[in-house]
Copies of this chain bind each other. A is one copy, B any other.
Amino acid sequence: MADLVYQRVISALQQQINQGKFADLKLPNERVLAEEFNVSRSSVKKALNSLIQRGMIFQKQGAGTFINPLYLKNRPMYNISGDNVGVTDMYQKDGQHPDIQVLGFKVLPAKPEIQEALFLEPGEFVYEIQRLRAFDDQPFMIEDGFVPVKLVPDLTEKMIAGSLYNYLQESRNIFVTRSFLTISADVSNKQDQKLLKLKPVEPVGVMEGIFFTDRGTPIEFSHMRLHYKFMRYNTFTALN
């Protein structure tokens, strides 16, 4: 895992930042970091770039590398940003994983929409996995996911009652590290209201999209409806 040079640098910097080592919010310059870690400046740049993507730091040409003060504060209860590991840690609350209730689990031929999203041939089968996630007694997400059978032929109901991605990671060495999501909002329907404990006027957040493994293979198409108070998506966008 950490046998890559730039990964080592990422981890080290992340730790140092979280420990508050850089009180003035300024990191050493790239050349110094390269020497400290005994790596090339390119590798330092690659590592810093990763932290920039996450919104942890930002750079200013001619001035230096700085910690984003907002990053340290903006840690919502249930967020999606994947601090370090993978999408595994998408939904967390103080490091605690949510409870999962399985609402439905079956195998069916992929509908055209799903076929396309997951790059499947007509007639290929997918699991449909319907789950409800909750923290303590507050449900916050209804999830309707589709996973190609051929990618995980041995999936069982027990496995999906836990974290599917954790299973893939630990038992199969498949890491889910990319996603392509569309985020929107919607009026809640009867089912939403019942499952998420919502009043009729209260809306849901909707997230829909595809998750990819670190090898670029699409592994899940998912449609998620979230309690509006618990949807909080942070993005950091750098164009160009």
- The residues of B that contact A178 with a CB separation of less than 8 Å are 58, 236-239
Is A240 within 8 A of B7, CB to CB? yes
- Does the CB pair B205–A184 fall under 8 Å? yes
A200 to B202, CA, bound (A): 10
Can you name the residue of chain B whose Cβ is closest to the Cβ of A63?
B216
- Residue contacts A-B, CB under 8 angstroms, 18 given: A60-B215, A60-B217, A66-B216, A69-B116, A69-B119, A178-B236, A178-B237, A179-B235, A179-B236, A179-B237, A181-B236, A182-B233, A184-B231, A185-B228, A202-B203, A203-B204, A203-B228, A214-B240
A87 beta carbon closer than 8 Å to chain B: yes
Bound CA–CA A85/B182 (angstroms)? 21
A240 — which chain B residues lie within 8 A by C-beta? 7, 10, 50, 177, 214
State whether A216 touches B182 (Cβ < 8 A). no
CB pair A235–B181 under 8 Å, yes or no, is: yes
Q: Which residues of B contact A7 (CB under 8 A)?
A: 240
Q: Is A59 an interface residue (CB 8 A)?
A: yes
- Could you mark each residue 17-52 of chain A with 1 if its beta carbon is under 8 Å from any beta carbon of chain B, else 0? 000000000000000000000000000000000100
Contacts of A185 in B (CB 8 A): 185, 203-205, 228, 231
Q: Are B186 and A228 in contact, CB atoms less than 8 angstroms apart? A: yes
In contact, A235 and B184 (Cβ under 8 angstroms): no
Produce 1/0 per residue, A76-105, CB < 8 A to B: 100000101111000000000000000000
Known contacts A59-B216, A201-B201, A228-B187; decide if A117 and B182 are in contact (CB<8 Å): no
User: How far is the CB of A235 from the nearest CB of chain B, in Å?
Assistant: 5
- Beta-carbon nearest neighbor of A232 in chain B: B184
Given the complex, which residues of B lie within 8 Å of A163, measured CB to CB? none
Is A169 on the interface with B (CB-CB < 8 A)?
A: no
Expressed in whole angstroms, the minimum distance between the Cβ of A219 and any Cβ of chain B is 13
CB closest chain-B residue, reference A231: B184
Given contacts A82-B239, A180-B70, A236-B178, contact A187 B215 (CB under 8 A): no
Contact A235/B203 with A59-B216, A70-B117, A117-B70 known, Cβ cut-off 8 Å: no
For the A-B complex with A61-B215, A87-B239, A203-B204 known, give 13 more contacts whose Cβ atoms are closer than 8 Å: A58-B216, A60-B215, A63-B216, A82-B237, A84-B239, A177-B238, A177-B239, A178-B237, A178-B239, A181-B234, A181-B237, A182-B233, A203-B228
